Structure 1
Amino acid sequence: MVATPMPTQKRLSIQTAEVAPDTKAIRSLDWDRDRFDIEFGLQNGTTYNSYLIRGEKIALVDTSHEKFRQLYLDTLTGLIDPKQIDYLIISHTEPDHSGLVKDFLQLASQAIVVGAKVAINFLEDLVHQPFQKQLVKSGDTLDLGKGHVIEFVNAPNLHWPDTIFSYDRGTGVLFTCDAFGMHYCSDATFDEDLTAIEPDYRFYYECLMAPNARSVLSAMKRMDKLGEINLVANGHGPLLRYNLTELLKRYRDWSQAQAKAEKNVAVFYVSDYGYSDRLSQAIARGITKTGVAVEMVDLRSAENTEVQEIINRTSAIVLGMPPLSGNNLKEITANIGTILAAANEKQLVGMYESYGGDDEPIDPIFTKFRDVGLKQAFASIRIKETPNEAIYQLCEESGTDLGQLLTRDKLVQQMKSLDHDLDKAMGRLSGGLYIITATKGNVSSAMLASWVTQASFEPPGITIAVAKDRAIESLMQVGDRFVLNVLAEGKYQSLMKHFLKRFKPGADRFAGVNTQTAANGSPILTDALAYLECEVVSRMECSDHWIVYSKVDVGRVSDPDNLTAVHHRKVGNHY
């Protein structure tokens, strides 16, 4: 194993390691990356994993991010003369994995690029130069010799429309790119420490894979037909070997739970156009937080019949504005026509701009949906500048609003159906009144809470139950910091009234409220009785809530003679 540092402001390094017979991992370690596609905060950096398979013929599986250009190419040429590489297998064309394809082909013009049809089409638009190519689909094989027969498995939308897995029958290694990965950077090549990686593994699934739960299950069904899988060689984070069975099972369980949702939303976007894919992912994340399933559909590559089937079974439609010109315009236009023709008045619709510079305008298409009878799910998202954290938060909250609209009737029915005596008994569990406030980057949020309790003495710690569909939940991942504001008895009404009201997506929750900034960057409510500065240590999933355990770093009481406001409920099946 070799680790070579690169002297840059941000720590970048390369790790190479033999991970199976004739199979070497080339892992680009991005130690300090704190955002992924802006909208998802990272606590532990990330990696971009590439693989070299040496049979009688030689294949490279994926490349790396362009920020690693010189370091990656130097490492690769130190391992092998690129002119000896026969194949470049493209798992998908997202830039963090295919960012160096053009550079590689300049060194290895003889290499045949192998990928799904959609991937090859996308790649031609990216590299703008001729190359040898081989299109593959599920069940196709590529014999490298010495027992290394590569079998391909279609896995679209995980999380890119052109994704394909590659399974080496000789070693039992499954190359999965984004699927079964995590944004976690460490010197550990494999998943020895499950406790360390599982929060990032789950958060990665929630952000990127939960909106594609049905696609996850379809891909795993195809995986079941392969031989024994000894190693998952993913595209991000440690490779899965030691906890492989458990971590694959978690993907299946999470996806099955998501796919069983009674309501589902179709989210249409245009890959590789503007910020369409990233914005759609943020909206989808907000939807899935409410327990509503999502189907992500790329307008560039989706079949017309597939689009119609999806519209026929969906409860709501989210549409990202496509380009007015360019490649695949005919296919995109036909798919939008199918959406409009198949939509019905029982569905909701939400729309957003892709910020690609050539967006179809929202209003004419929205008018057509309204003429059919569809109701607006959220205010159309109109983007006038490069999307930042606040825009992505707006998208997520808009998605959550949509999901809550679809599940509102179900929640009312659930409340009415619970046992009356049990309902009253649960309501006798009272608690204090608190406001949680958090800031990450330029995004801030707040939530009224009463399910709070001390959980440890040393270090001092607390637990908070946070509903999965709360906006602040995204700011309370492991490693995040927040403030717990304690409300005072007899002096809490105005603060409680303010934070109980429903805020529009993206609204400033602190407008009109007196605040000061804590050392951890989150707002302190000036009129609160006390405050605690906290850091999230761990999270436990409990049905419709997350139990968030946090250590307390700093605390202060403003009025020692006053007491904490107490909240008494009459029923225990809703707040």
Structure 2
Amino acid sequence: MAKKLTDKVSWVGKVDWELTRFHGDEYSTHKGSSYNSYLVRDKKTALIDTVWQPFDKEFVARLKQDVDLKSIDYIVMNHNEIDHSGSLPELMREIPDTPIYCTANGQKIIQGHYHRPEWNFVTVKTGDTLDLGDSKLIFVEAPMLHWPDTMFTYLTGENILFSNDAFGQHYATESLYDDTVDQAELFTEALKYYANILTPFSKFVTRKIHEVLDLKLPLNLVCPSHGVIWRSHYAQIIEQYLKWADDYQENQVTLVYDTMWNSTRKMAEAIAAGIRDADPSIAVKLMNSAKEDKNDIISEVFRSRAILVGSPTINNGYLFSIGGMMEMIKGLKFKNKRAAAFGSYGWSGEVVKQLTEELNKAGFQIVNEGHRALWIPDEAELATCREYGKQFAESL
């Protein structure tokens, strides 16, 4: 069902309460998500973005209930990942000649996905406009936020920024707006979204936000493609993005570890106790990578000023879950964070050196050569681990 945002603009998207995984199995969505599509009706009518492919027939059927499809003059695609463009083929069966406005990269990506050369593409760049009558759409390219094709669209008169993935969250709500939901949940999901998706592109985030702010456009709503519409806290989420993009850290140390027979776990707990001994103001979090959600771990790494990564040595290397976490961490290109490694071993013990090398490759400043313990740590070894944690904290 369409939901009216202003006299001219309606939300025509899909709330997906059942979604638990996204980007294949790469992203956990504990709070579901939404695929936000917007219908702008002036003298001309524009549809901004569609919804994910599994809901294409539902999307088109519901859209028909709200508007004569043949009255849609323009389709604007801000970004063409399948969760946004997936309903295009179903929609274009109904209105095959409707022009699709997107960036040049957007056209390439749509063609790469759907292989429909006959579709009527109109490519746009920053500063181009589309006259709807009393209002205009102004296009602003935003490459790598978070794909090369991404753009923002601003609606004059209504003062709405359609920001696609920027300022989004995987967060299902029927009430749509930021001021109608639990604020702690909302900003937790917004941080998780930024940490897991936008972190590698932080320099582009900073540049693009300042570019848009410099335009001094009046703003009433920020309408992303996932999660809530920002009407009361849009200034706060923009400010938060600038903070998150600025090599973000809190006064936190996170220990990410896996363990076979609990030796590495015991080391982690003793190291954590040592950190608290040295500085009780530091928030210390322990996360078992084989048991905790990987995206929640990434959120805590994002918050942290430093991390410690631990694993026992197995087959001359580290455990599978730690390998997966290190690949994610490297890909996200965190900045301004320190790190060290630890782990238990039986007869070879090279994992600490290997993890230290991986952390260095991932861009972390290495605090020290790490710490390893032979077999199951006894009280003396646990005391050594605790002292190691204390020294680690004092070096930050």
TM-score by length of 1: 0.48
How far did residue 29 of structure 1 move? 1.2
* Counterpart among 138, 146, 149 of residue 159 in structure 1: 146
Is the Cα–Cα contact under 8 Å of residues 115 and 134 in structure 1 kept in the other structure?
Answer: yes
Residues 65 and 501 (structure 1 numbering): CA distance in 2 closer, same or farther, change over 3 Å?
A: same
* Counterpart among 285, 290, 299 of residue 466 in structure 1: 285
- What percent identity do the matched residue pairs reach? 26
Q: Residue 20 of structure 1: SS of its match in structure 2?
A: coil
Matched, 1:189 2:176: yes
Tell me, which stretches of 5 or more residues in structure 1 are unaligned?
Answer: 3-15, 259-288, 292-433, 439-444, 454-462, 481-497, 510-543, 545-561
* Counterpart among 201, 219, 225 of residue 235 in structure 1: 225
How far did residue 149 of structure 1 move? 0.6
Distance 2:7 2:212 in 1: 21
Q: Residue 240 of structure 2: SS of its match in structure 1?
A: helix
Is the Cα–Cα contact under 8 Å of residues 467 and 473 in structure 1 kept in the other structure?
Answer: no
Letter in 1 for 2:122: Q
**Residue equivalent to 2:188:** 199
Cα displacement string for residues 501-521 of structure 1 (whole angstroms, at most 9, x for unaligned residues) = 698466367xxxxxxxxxxxx
Superposed CA RMSD = 3.7
Distance 1:435 1:194 in 2: 27
Matched, 1:23 2:13: no
Is the Cα–Cα contact under 8 Å of residues 258 and 321 in structure 2 kept in the other structure?
Answer: no
Distance 1:184 1:133 in 2: 32
**Residue equivalent to 2:65:** 78
Cα displacement string for residues 274-293 of structure 1 (whole angstroms, at most 9, x for unaligned residues) = xxxxxxxxxxxxxxx9x9xx
Q: Residue 143 of structure 2: SS of its match in structure 1?
A: coil
Residues 448 and 171 (structure 1 numbering): CA distance in 2 closer, same or farther, change over 3 Å?
A: same
How far did residue 226 of structure 1 move? 4.4
How far did residue 110 of structure 1 move? 3.1
**Residue equivalent to 1:573:** 394
Letter in 1 for 2:193: Y
Residues 40 and 125 (structure 1 numbering): CA distance in 2 closer, same or farther, change over 3 Å?
A: closer
Tell me, which stretches of 5 or more residues in structure 2 are unaligned?
Answer: 275-281, 300-309, 323-363, 365-378
Letter in 2 for 1:170: G
Alignment of 1:265-284 (within 5 A): none
Residues 43 and 252 (structure 1 numbering): CA distance in 2 closer, same or farther, change over 3 Å?
A: same
Matched, 1:65 2:52: yes
**Residue equivalent to 2:246:** 256
How far did residue 436 of structure 1 move? 6.7
Q: Residue 89 of structure 2: SS of its match in structure 1?
A: helix
How far did residue 500 of structure 1 move? 6.3
* Counterpart among 92, 102, 107 of residue 120 in structure 1: 107
Matched, 1:448 2:261: no
Distance 2:319 2:63 in 1: 45
Distance 1:45 1:501 in 2: 37
Residues 499 and 239 (structure 1 numbering): CA distance in 2 closer, same or farther, change over 3 Å?
A: same
**Residue equivalent to 1:104:** 91
Distance 1:190 1:201 in 2: 14
**Residue equivalent to 1:317:** none
How far did residue 466 of structure 1 move? 3.3
Cα displacement string for residues 473-496 of structure 1 (whole angstroms, at most 9, x for unaligned residues) = 864839x9xxxxxxxxxxxxxxxx
Residues 117 and 436 (structure 1 numbering): CA distance in 2 closer, same or farther, change over 3 Å?
A: closer
How far did residue 175 of structure 1 move? 0.5
Residues 437 and 471 (structure 1 numbering): CA distance in 2 closer, same or farther, change over 3 Å?
A: closer
Is the Cα–Cα contact under 8 Å of residues 153 and 222 in structure 1 kept in the other structure?
Answer: no
Cα displacement string for residues 151-200 of structure 1 (whole angstroms, at most 9, x for unaligned residues) = 11010011111001000011110011111100011222011132221111
Alignment of 1:518-529 (within 5 A): none
Distance 2:12 2:132 in 1: 19
Distance 1:448 1:255 in 2: 30
Distance 1:508 1:80 in 2: 49
How far did residue 471 of structure 1 move? 9.2
Q: Residue 205 of structure 1: SS of its match in structure 2?
A: helix
Distance 1:221 1:504 in 2: 45
Alignment of 1:242-391 (within 5 A): 242-257=232-247
How far did residue 66 of structure 1 move? 1.1
How far did residue 437 of structure 1 move? 5.9
Distance 1:476 1:69 in 2: 28
How far did residue 31 of structure 1 move? 0.9
Distance 2:97 2:45 in 1: 12
Residues 211 and 436 (structure 1 numbering): CA distance in 2 closer, same or farther, change over 3 Å?
A: closer
Letter in 1 for 2:228: P
Higher strand residue share: 1
Letter in 2 for 1:135: T
**Residue equivalent to 2:367:** none
Cα displacement string for residues 425-463 of structure 1 (whole angstroms, at most 9, x for unaligned residues) = xxxxxxxxx99769xxxxxx968234369xxxxxxxxx9
**Residue equivalent to 1:43:** 30
Distance 1:195 1:217 in 2: 24
Distance 1:254 1:67 in 2: 32
How far did residue 254 of structure 1 move? 1.2
Is the Cα–Cα contact under 8 Å of residues 312 and 319 in structure 2 kept in the other structure?
Answer: no
**Residue equivalent to 1:406:** none
Cα displacement string for residues 72-106 of structure 1 (whole angstroms, at most 9, x for unaligned residues) = 11110000111110000011110010001111111
How far did residue 112 of structure 1 move? 0.9
Cα displacement string for residues 538-569 of structure 1 (whole angstroms, at most 9, x for unaligned residues) = xxxxxx9xxxxxxxxxxxxxxxxx9xx65345
Q: Residue 197 of structure 2: SS of its match in structure 1?
A: helix
How far did residue 42 of structure 1 move? 1.6
Residues 476 and 221 (structure 1 numbering): CA distance in 2 closer, same or farther, change over 3 Å?
A: closer
Letter in 2 for 1:179: A
Matched, 1:477 2:267: no
Distance 1:238 1:59 in 2: 21
Is the Cα–Cα contact under 8 Å of residues 62 and 89 in structure 1 kept in the other structure?
Answer: yes
**Residue equivalent to 2:119:** 131
